[in-house]
């Protein structure tokens, strides 16, 4: 294959119409191994009406995205959900879309608790702190040592069940914790929520160049999929000394602010590393109760306040 052919192939991949009416039918689909699958998914999804009813009872739907793994996206989801529930008396739900690497049950201290089937659908787990509703594949497998080995269609089917078959009830916020990148899980959730119009995405990154380089891909994904970007959260930019509480910068520069400004995206806030908060996350304790004066907790509360203002203004 020549470099010219490789370039054409890349252009076709970038222009993938998997989330549109042209899925499997466009000229760029010719030769794609997933063409038959996309073509077979044409027409109205028979489950879409029930998904719309379930999601219609939830006022705000927010996606938490990251271009790279290990930037603390699930932790941001955790802190943001706690802040919305505790500081603003919001009814909050969290759906864990990281099918192969679920960490939400551990963070919310609902590990080893099964999801129960009721006459109204799956009953989400309730966190001990702030009564946040949670659904995760981590609560559907037998052990935390069990590998989840799913292909794309099966991931999509499970995500659909999280939305369609879960008795979420009325919520103020549903936070969707996604895996890193822009793949099956992301396309599935955007497509399934299209009729109820999610508020947008919160992008999480660290200050290193290797992490910020992937953010541009997340921004491009959101634009192509019609998802509003509510803002960027910079995570792990500083370190809070557990003894003197003084904060030191871990990485030099202001790359996150520059990147956000160049794309016209607000920076929602900065979350430093605090070993005390990390210990809470590892042991299922609510950091907002245990260490309310921590810079991490204070910043999470400010981010939640800013986010409420943004979604209420849109």
pLDDT tens digits for range 39-66: 665 556 789 999 999 999 999 999 999 9
The model's pTM: 0.86
Where does the pLDDT of residue 16 fall: very low under 50, low under 70, confident under 90, or very high at 90 and above?
low
Least confident of 74-78, 100-104, 273-277: 100-104
Q: Tell me which H or E stretch contains 36.
A: helix 35-40
Listed range (137-146, 256-265, 269-278) with the worst mean pLDDT: 137-146
Q: Name residues whose C-beta falls within 8 Å of residue 94's C-beta, 6 or more positions apart in sequence.
A: 77, 78, 81, 104, 108, 132, 133, 134, 135, 174, 175, 176, 177
Q: Which of 59, 134, 70 is nearest to 101 (CA)?
A: 70
Residue 79 has pLDDT above 50, yes or no: yes
Helix, strand or coil, per DSSP, at residue 165? coil
Same domain, 167 and 207: yes
Residues 120 and 155 in one domain: yes
Q: Cα separation of 310 and 150, whole Å?
A: 36
154 shares a domain with 38: no
What residues does 232 pair with on adjacent strands? 203, 267
CATH number of the domain where residue 166 is located: 3.40.50.300
19: pLDDT confidence band, cut at 50, 70 and 90? low
Q: How confident is the model at residue 109, as a pLDDT?
A: 94
DSSP string covering 173-190: EEEEE--SSSSHHHHHHH
Do residues 127 and 134 make contact, with C-beta atoms less than 8 angstroms apart?
yes
Same domain, 146 and 30: no
From first CA to last CA, the distance across the chain in angstroms is 47
pLDDT tens string 131-181: 999 999 988 876 666 677 777 788 889 999 999 999 999 999 999 999 998
Q: Between the CA atoms of 23, 224, 76 and 108, what dihedral angle is there, to the nearest 10 degrees?
A: -20
> Mean pLDDT, to the nearest integer, of 196-212?
92
Indicate whether 55 and 185 sit together in one domain: yes
Q: Do 39 and 180 share a domain, yes or no?
A: no
For residues 39 and 56, state if they share a domain: no
The kind and range of the H/E element at 203 are strand 200-205
How many domains does the structure of the chain reveal? 2
pLDDT of residue 12: 45
Q: Give the whole-angstrom CA distance, residue 126 versus residue 145.
A: 23
16 & 90 share domain: no
Helices (H), 131-270: 152-164, 184-192, 209-225, 255-263
- What does the mean pLDDT of the chain come to? 87
In degrees and rounded to multiples of 5, residue 269 shows phi and psi of 165, 175
Dist CA 41 CA 175 (whole Å): 27
Structural domain harbouring 26: 1-43
Quick one: pLDDT at residue 148? Answer: 74
Count of residues making up the chain: 314
Same domain, 34 and 92: no
Range with the poorest average pLDDT among 3-7, 15-19, 199-203, 310-314: 3-7
Whether the per-residue pLDDT at 81 is higher than 90: the answer is yes
The mean pLDDT of 69-75, rounded to a whole number, is 92
Per the model's pLDDT, the better-predicted residue between 273 and 8 turns out to be 273
Indicate if 233 and 277 belong to the same structural domain: yes
Statement to judge: residues 16 and 157 lie in one domain = no
Same domain, 84 and 55: yes
pLDDT score of 268 = 97
**pLDDT for position 211:** 87
The angle subtended at Cα 263 by Cα 98 and Cα 178, nearest 5°, is 5
């Amino acid at each position: 294959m020549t470099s010219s052919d490789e370039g054409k192939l890349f252009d076709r991949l970038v222009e993938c119409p998997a989330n549109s009416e042209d899925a499997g039918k466009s000229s760029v689909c010719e030769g794609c191994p997933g063409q038959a699958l996309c073509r077979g998914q044409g027409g109205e999804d028979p489950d879409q009406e029930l998904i719309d009813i379930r999601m219609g009872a939830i006022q705000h739907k927010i996606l938490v995205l990251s271009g790279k793994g290990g930037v603390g996206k699930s932790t941001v989801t955790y802190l943001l959900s706690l802040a919305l529930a505790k500081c603003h008396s919001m009814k909050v739900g969290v759906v864990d879309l990281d099918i192969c690497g679920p960490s939400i049950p551990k963070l919310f201290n609902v590990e080893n608790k099964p999801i129960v089937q009721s006459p109204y659908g799956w009953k989400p787990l309730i966190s001990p702190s702030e009564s946040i509703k949670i659904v995760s594949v981590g609560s559907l497998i037998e052990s935390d040592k069990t590998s989840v080995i799913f292909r794309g269609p099966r991931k999509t089917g499970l995500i659909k069940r999280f939305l369609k078959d879960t008795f979420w009830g009325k919520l103020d916020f549903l936070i969707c914790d996604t895996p890193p990148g822009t793949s099956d899980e992301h396309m599935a959730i955007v497509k399934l929520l299209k009729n109820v119009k999610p508020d947008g995405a919160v992008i999480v990154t660290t200050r290193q160049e290797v992490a910020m380089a992937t953010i541009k891909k997340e921004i491009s994904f959101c634009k192509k999929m019609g998802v509003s970007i509510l803002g960027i959260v910079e995570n792990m930019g500083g370190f809070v000394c557990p003894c003197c509480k003084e904060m030191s910068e871990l990485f030099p520069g202001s790359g996150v602010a520059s990147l956000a400004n160049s794309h016209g995206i607000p920076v929602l806030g900065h979350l430093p590393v605090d070993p005390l908060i990390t210990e809470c996350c590892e042991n299922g304790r609510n950091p907002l109760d245990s260490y309310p004066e921590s810079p991490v907790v204070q910043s999470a509360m400010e981010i939640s306040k800013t986010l409420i203002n943004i979604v209420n203004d849109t």
